[in-house]
Structure 1
Amino acid sequence: MDCKCFAFCTSCIDDAVTRNLHKFECDLFCELPDEVREGDTDYLRFILRYCAFIQLNDPRQKAIDSLTTMRESQSAEFLRWAGSYASLIVTFFANKINVTEDELIDLLCRVQTNAFGFPFTQENTFGWSIQSTLSLLNHDCMPNCYIAPIDERSGVMSIRASKKILPGEELTIAYMQADGNATIRDELFDRYRFHCSCRMCTPAL
């Protein structure tokens, strides 16, 4: 795939669905001013892929829409930025995308709340991703699971048990290394918009 804007693994290049999605999002991406394309494009790439899902009736759009936005808990600063950014995208692309400003604000909130660093286990991430199943896992400072190191050949992120799990027990992971102190709880709220109430944190609340 001859593209200077996006990188793909071999399996994606050979996949017709991915090629069609890419053509749509890349055409939009290349229309943007250089200062937008050369800046921090993590949120922009989520938006373009989401618009491509809608345009091509990809079922993964519904999987994204099913994730929580935590919109009522997002900071006023983030919501102001999200509103401004969504307005810019909708105005710039006019009739080329079938999405509203409000839908894009919800998408940005979902990314803010549900996205994983990719790879999840490395301090310096390659980028961010939303995983339809992994994004449903809740945080616990003493989790019973962890995100396994990524399979470099397939790009697959998987979950592994870190202790014995009883039937019916909720699967949890640690969104960040936590020890139950107030600083970590504040960081969890700032990033993921929830107050941790796990067994480690509850006595300190």
Structure 2
Amino acid sequence: MAILRRTRFALFFLILLWAGTIPLLAQVPGEVSGVQLDGTGTISWDTHENQGQAGGTQAVLLSWLSYGMRSLRIVLSGAATNEPRNYGSIWNKTVVTTLSEFGRTSRENGSFGTDHANASCLFLEGGGVNGGVYNCDPSTWPAGVQFGIDGRYLMERTDFRAVFWELLRDHMGASPATVDDVFPGYTSLNLGAQELGLIQP
């Protein structure tokens, strides 16, 4: 079954945020139907205690993540100096995204950290990404609804499958007819209603 068109080149870089112990730069390169896939992972995001604020563990982890994502943009847009590879033409064909294995509470626990929770966030960047902040505004969160699960858990607003199907279809060229082969139940669960229009046409 051909899900992706071979005539379109795209680069998809997945950054996994893990709580476990996997190598920081465990890259798994591959190629699927003309689409290049790469990824890496980072560890120590399971901050149940002493998470800190502006100078704590979480801030350090986020600074590493933002530095890595910024570096990818600089190199893949051709703006890096002393870079022997010519990446100048591929930033507009690149999407970088993060994915975590679980969400975290948005309210601090008694140990000055956060615990596992239902919802999390995704960061996306790339030349074809419609930038902005999604599902984090007063129209999305009526008063009293944001922490609607036991008063401390952020409620889910967008299923991760809706985000990744947009990337597969609109960036990588997956056929719309294959959506339920890729994500079983996508149509019957009406996950298309949660799509955000993340990729420019």
> Smaller-chain TM-score range?
under 0.3
TM-score when normalising by structure 2: 0.27
Which structure's residues are more often strand, by fraction? Answer: 2
TM-score when normalising by structure 1: 0.27
